[in-house]
Structure 1
Amino acid sequence: MRTTQQLSITLPNEMADVVKAKVRAGEYASESEVIRDGLRALLARDRAVEAWLHGQVGPAFDALQADPGRGVTPDAVRARLAEERSKLR
């Protein structure tokens, strides 16, 4: 059973040039390898975002729903940012 599938894709000229340059420079053996590596990076990023959403954002949202007093007003955020910015000057 075949574990790969041939696709025909169209890329903007700039992206196609990058793919070809990577192969020409010897960084990759083929254009397909460049695309596969890019897709692996995209999948890794997607997994990282999902993990962050489930591990940090979701629990923080749940905690805020359970105790709205934990929230910070936009004015308080602005004041804190202004304070931090003034420390950098």
Structure 2
Amino acid sequence: MATMTISLPDPMKEWIETQIGKGEYASASDYLRDLVRRDRSRRDQEMTMDELRQLVAESRASGTGKQSLYTIFENAERLARARGVVRE
């Protein structure tokens, strides 16, 4: 395993130490590994701007839709929940 040295402002260092003190994490390294895992997971779920542009272009090219605005929002909300973006 590689070693990395980082500098943090005192309030951040104290925050991490508090989390360790609560038993949330075994060490500062454990805390930072969890942060990196969560960040990677979040970023994996996000659409890139290119993907979003492609989606908009495909939508425009498909013409006028037949679904009601209510149905479109229901489907969007269901998709967001499935991706973990919106919680019930």
Q: TM-score, normalised by structure 1?
A: 0.57
Equivalences, count: 63
Q: Which of 2, 5, 9 pairs up with 1:5?
A: 2
Distance 1:22 1:60, change over 3 A: same
Fraction of identical pairs, as percent: 26
1:12 deviates by 2.1
Relative contact order higher in (CA < 8 Å, ≥ 6 apart): 2
Unaligned runs of 5+ in 1: 71-89
2:69 is matched with none
Unaligned runs of 5+ in 2: 65-88
1:25 deviates by 1.1
User: Structure 1 counterpart of 2:5, which letter?
Assistant: S
**Which of the pair is proportionally richer in helix?**
1
| Structure-to-structure mapping, 1:3-42, within 5 angstroms | 4-42=1-39
Q: Which runs of 4+ in 1 moved over 4 A?
A: none
Greater Rg over alpha carbons, structure: 1
Question: RMSD over aligned Cα, in angstroms?
Answer: 2.6
Q: 2:25 and 2:13 mapped to 1: Cα distance? A: 14
Q: Which of 56, 59, 69 pairs up with 1:60?
A: 56
2:86 is matched with none
